Amino acid sequence: MSNTALTIAMPKGRIFEEAYDMLIEAGFNLPANVEMSRKLMIEIPEENIRFILAKPMDVPTYVEHGVADIGIAGKDVLLEERRNVHELLDLNISKCHVASAGLPNTELNDIAPRIATKYPNIASDYYREKGEQVEIIGLNGSIELAPMIGLADRIVDIVSTGQTLKENGLVEYEFVVDVSSRLIANQASYRMKNDRIQDLVKRLKKCVREG
Protein backbone atom coordinates (compact mmCIF):
# COMPACT_ATOMS: atom_id res chain seq x y z
CA MET A 1 0.00 0.00 0.00
CA SER A 2 1.20 3.54 -0.76
CA ASN A 3 2.45 5.70 2.08
CA THR A 4 0.75 8.93 0.94
CA ALA A 5 0.74 11.66 3.59
CA LEU A 6 -2.43 11.95 5.67
CA THR A 7 -3.55 14.87 7.81
CA ILE A 8 -6.12 14.13 10.51
CA ALA A 9 -8.07 16.87 12.32
CA MET A 10 -8.71 15.92 15.93
CA PRO A 11 -11.16 17.82 18.14
CA LYS A 12 -9.72 19.26 21.32
CA GLY A 13 -11.86 19.06 24.45
CA ARG A 14 -14.33 16.34 25.39
CA ILE A 15 -13.96 14.05 22.40
CA PHE A 16 -10.18 14.17 22.42
CA GLU A 17 -9.49 11.63 25.15
CA GLU A 18 -11.77 8.91 23.79
CA ALA A 19 -10.57 9.51 20.23
CA TYR A 20 -6.95 9.46 21.41
CA ASP A 21 -7.48 6.13 23.21
CA MET A 22 -9.04 4.65 20.07
CA LEU A 23 -6.14 5.78 17.90
CA ILE A 24 -3.62 4.32 20.35
CA GLU A 25 -5.58 1.04 20.39
CA ALA A 26 -5.57 1.08 16.57
CA GLY A 27 -1.76 1.19 16.72
CA PHE A 28 -1.04 4.87 16.07
CA ASN A 29 1.99 5.86 18.06
CA LEU A 30 0.72 9.19 19.42
CA PRO A 31 2.84 10.76 22.17
CA ALA A 32 1.51 10.81 25.74
CA ASN A 33 0.17 14.02 27.33
CA VAL A 34 -0.65 15.57 23.96
CA GLU A 35 -3.43 17.71 25.42
CA MET A 36 -1.21 18.99 28.24
CA SER A 37 1.09 20.68 25.74
CA ARG A 38 0.14 23.71 23.63
CA LYS A 39 1.30 22.03 20.42
CA LEU A 40 -1.38 22.06 17.74
CA MET A 41 0.31 19.76 15.24
CA ILE A 42 1.72 16.31 15.96
CA GLU A 43 3.61 14.27 13.39
CA ILE A 44 4.02 10.50 13.28
CA PRO A 45 6.79 10.22 10.65
CA GLU A 46 6.83 6.42 10.52
CA GLU A 47 3.15 6.42 9.44
CA ASN A 48 3.47 9.61 7.35
CA ILE A 49 0.55 11.02 9.34
CA ARG A 50 0.14 14.34 11.07
CA PHE A 51 -2.59 15.31 13.49
CA ILE A 52 -3.89 18.83 13.91
CA LEU A 53 -5.76 19.75 17.08
CA ALA A 54 -8.77 21.93 16.29
CA LYS A 55 -11.85 23.36 17.97
CA PRO A 56 -14.56 20.68 17.65
CA MET A 57 -16.89 22.95 15.62
CA ASP A 58 -14.06 23.73 13.16
CA VAL A 59 -13.08 20.14 12.29
CA PRO A 60 -15.52 19.85 9.31
CA THR A 61 -14.21 23.17 7.96
CA TYR A 62 -10.61 21.89 7.82
CA VAL A 63 -11.83 18.68 6.19
CA GLU A 64 -14.12 20.34 3.63
CA HIS A 65 -11.28 22.64 2.56
CA GLY A 66 -8.94 19.67 2.18
CA VAL A 67 -6.25 20.91 4.56
CA ALA A 68 -7.15 17.82 6.59
CA ASP A 69 -7.93 14.58 4.74
CA ILE A 70 -9.71 13.07 7.72
CA GLY A 71 -11.42 14.41 10.82
CA ILE A 72 -13.28 13.36 13.91
CA ALA A 73 -16.47 15.29 14.66
CA GLY A 74 -19.65 14.94 16.69
CA LYS A 75 -22.83 14.28 14.71
CA ASP A 76 -24.17 17.50 16.29
CA VAL A 77 -21.35 19.45 14.67
CA LEU A 78 -21.90 17.74 11.30
CA LEU A 79 -25.64 18.51 11.36
CA GLU A 80 -25.02 22.09 12.44
CA GLU A 81 -22.14 22.91 10.10
CA ARG A 82 -23.58 21.12 7.02
CA ARG A 83 -20.13 20.86 5.42
CA ASN A 84 -19.59 18.84 2.28
CA VAL A 85 -17.63 15.93 3.79
CA HIS A 86 -17.82 12.16 3.50
CA GLU A 87 -18.97 10.36 6.66
CA LEU A 88 -16.90 7.19 6.99
CA LEU A 89 -17.53 5.55 10.34
CA ASP A 90 -19.53 5.95 13.55
CA LEU A 91 -16.85 5.73 16.26
CA ASN A 92 -19.58 5.33 18.90
CA ILE A 93 -17.75 7.61 21.35
CA SER A 94 -18.80 10.83 23.15
CA LYS A 95 -22.41 9.71 23.02
CA CYS A 96 -25.16 12.10 24.04
CA HIS A 97 -28.28 13.54 22.46
CA VAL A 98 -29.73 16.87 21.46
CA ALA A 99 -32.99 17.76 23.19
CA SER A 100 -35.29 20.65 23.89
CA ALA A 101 -35.65 21.61 27.53
CA GLY A 102 -37.17 24.32 29.67
CA LEU A 103 -38.71 25.16 33.02
CA PRO A 104 -41.13 22.47 34.22
CA ASN A 105 -44.86 22.70 33.42
CA THR A 106 -44.51 25.39 30.82
CA GLU A 107 -46.59 25.21 27.65
CA LEU A 108 -45.35 26.69 24.39
CA ASN A 109 -48.37 28.78 23.48
CA ASP A 110 -46.69 31.93 22.17
CA ILE A 111 -46.93 32.64 18.47
CA ALA A 112 -43.16 32.35 18.07
CA PRO A 113 -41.57 30.92 21.23
CA ARG A 114 -37.94 31.86 21.81
CA ILE A 115 -35.47 29.00 21.54
CA ALA A 116 -31.94 29.58 22.86
CA THR A 117 -29.26 27.36 21.40
CA LYS A 118 -25.73 27.04 20.10
CA TYR A 119 -27.22 24.87 17.34
CA PRO A 120 -29.34 27.34 15.31
CA ASN A 121 -29.49 25.08 12.24
CA ILE A 122 -30.40 21.91 14.15
CA ALA A 123 -33.04 23.81 16.15
CA SER A 124 -34.62 25.55 13.15
CA ASP A 125 -34.66 22.29 11.12
CA TYR A 126 -36.34 20.53 14.03
CA TYR A 127 -39.11 23.09 14.53
CA ARG A 128 -39.60 23.57 10.77
CA GLU A 129 -40.16 19.82 10.36
CA LYS A 130 -42.73 20.01 13.17
CA GLY A 131 -44.39 22.94 11.44
CA GLU A 132 -43.79 25.23 14.42
CA GLN A 133 -42.65 28.80 14.02
CA VAL A 134 -39.97 29.79 16.52
CA GLU A 135 -37.52 32.59 17.15
CA ILE A 136 -33.96 31.29 17.47
CA ILE A 137 -31.64 33.06 19.93
CA GLY A 138 -28.00 32.10 19.36
CA LEU A 139 -25.74 31.61 22.39
CA ASN A 140 -22.25 30.16 22.73
CA GLY A 141 -22.52 28.30 26.04
CA SER A 142 -24.24 28.10 29.44
CA ILE A 143 -27.40 27.64 27.38
CA GLU A 144 -29.35 26.42 30.43
CA LEU A 145 -29.29 29.98 31.80
CA ALA A 146 -31.62 31.23 29.07
CA PRO A 147 -34.97 29.90 30.41
CA MET A 148 -33.91 30.45 34.01
CA ILE A 149 -33.35 34.12 33.43
CA GLY A 150 -36.22 34.74 31.00
CA LEU A 151 -34.24 35.00 27.77
CA ALA A 152 -35.97 32.02 26.15
CA ASP A 153 -38.92 29.63 26.54
CA ARG A 154 -36.91 26.56 25.57
CA ILE A 155 -33.33 25.59 24.87
CA VAL A 156 -32.06 23.13 22.29
CA ASP A 157 -28.83 21.66 23.60
CA ILE A 158 -26.75 18.56 24.30
CA VAL A 159 -27.93 16.32 27.12
CA SER A 160 -25.61 13.59 28.36
CA THR A 161 -26.06 12.63 32.01
CA GLY A 162 -28.88 15.17 32.48
CA GLN A 163 -27.02 16.66 35.45
CA THR A 164 -26.84 20.19 34.04
CA LEU A 165 -30.60 20.26 33.43
CA LYS A 166 -31.31 18.84 36.88
CA GLU A 167 -29.01 21.19 38.76
CA ASN A 168 -30.63 24.15 37.05
CA GLY A 169 -34.22 23.06 37.63
CA LEU A 170 -34.95 22.34 33.95
CA VAL A 171 -36.68 19.36 32.35
CA GLU A 172 -36.27 17.72 28.98
CA TYR A 173 -39.27 18.15 26.66
CA GLU A 174 -38.39 16.71 23.26
CA PHE A 175 -35.70 14.37 21.97
CA VAL A 176 -34.16 15.86 18.82
CA VAL A 177 -31.31 13.60 17.66
CA ASP A 178 -28.76 11.07 18.92
CA VAL A 179 -25.11 12.17 18.84
CA SER A 180 -21.84 10.25 18.65
CA SER A 181 -18.50 11.07 17.07
CA ARG A 182 -17.89 10.24 13.43
CA LEU A 183 -14.84 9.73 11.25
CA ILE A 184 -15.15 12.03 8.23
CA ALA A 185 -13.12 12.51 5.06
CA ASN A 186 -12.53 15.20 2.49
CA GLN A 187 -14.38 14.23 -0.71
CA ALA A 188 -11.30 14.47 -2.97
CA SER A 189 -9.01 12.75 -0.44
CA TYR A 190 -11.54 9.94 -0.20
CA ARG A 191 -11.06 9.25 -3.91
CA MET A 192 -7.34 10.07 -4.26
CA LYS A 193 -6.10 8.49 -1.03
CA ASN A 194 -8.66 5.70 -0.87
CA ASP A 195 -6.20 2.90 0.04
CA ARG A 196 -4.79 4.79 2.99
CA ILE A 197 -8.20 5.94 4.16
CA GLN A 198 -9.67 2.43 3.92
CA ASP A 199 -6.73 1.11 5.93
CA LEU A 200 -7.38 3.71 8.64
CA VAL A 201 -11.10 2.85 8.68
CA LYS A 202 -10.28 -0.86 8.96
CA ARG A 203 -7.92 -0.27 11.89
CA LEU A 204 -10.39 1.96 13.72
CA LYS A 205 -13.42 -0.25 12.99
CA LYS A 206 -11.78 -2.99 15.04
CA CYS A 207 -11.72 -0.64 18.04
CA VAL A 208 -15.35 0.51 17.88
CA ARG A 209 -17.29 -0.66 20.93
CA GLU A 210 -20.94 -1.42 20.32
CA GLY A 211 -23.73 -0.28 22.64
Ligand X SMILES: O=P(O)(O)OC[C@H]1O[C@H](OP(=O)(O)OP(=O)(O)O)[C@H](O)[C@@H]1O
Ligand Y SMILES: Nc1ncnc2c1ncn2[C@@H]1O[C@H](COP(=O)(O)OP(=O)(O)OP(=O)(O)O)[C@@H](O)[C@H]1O
- The item of ligand Y, ligand X, none sharing an interface with residue 163, based on CB under 5 to 8 Å by kind, is ligand X
Nearest to 89 by CA among 76, 70, 69: 70
Span 114-133, contacts to ligand Y by CB under 6 A: none
Q: Tell me which of 141, 167, 209, 211 binds ligand Y, using CB under 6 A.
A: 141
Residue 10 touches ligand Y, criterion: CB under 6 A: no
Residues in touch with ligand X (CB under 6 A): 141-144, 157-164
- The item of ligand Y, ligand X, none sharing an interface with residue 153, based on CB under 5 to 8 Å by kind, is none
- The item of ligand X, ligand Y, none sharing an interface with residue 142, based on CB under 5 to 8 Å by kind, is ligand X
Separation between Cα atoms, residue 6 and residue 23, nearest integer Å: 14
Separation between Cα atoms, residue 16 and residue 59, nearest integer Å: 12
For residue 90, the cross-strand partners are 182
Residue 53 touches ligand Y, criterion: CB under 6 A: no
Separation between Cα atoms, residue 44 and residue 90, nearest integer Å: 24
Q: Tell me which of 9, 61, 91, 94 binds ligand Y, using CB under 6 A.
A: 94
Which stretches of the chain are DSSP H helices?
14-25, 59-64, 75-81, 120-129, 145-149, 163-167, 187-192, 194-205
Chain residues binding ligand Y by CB under 6 A are 11, 13-15, 55-57, 74, 76-77, 94, 96, 141, 158, 160, 179
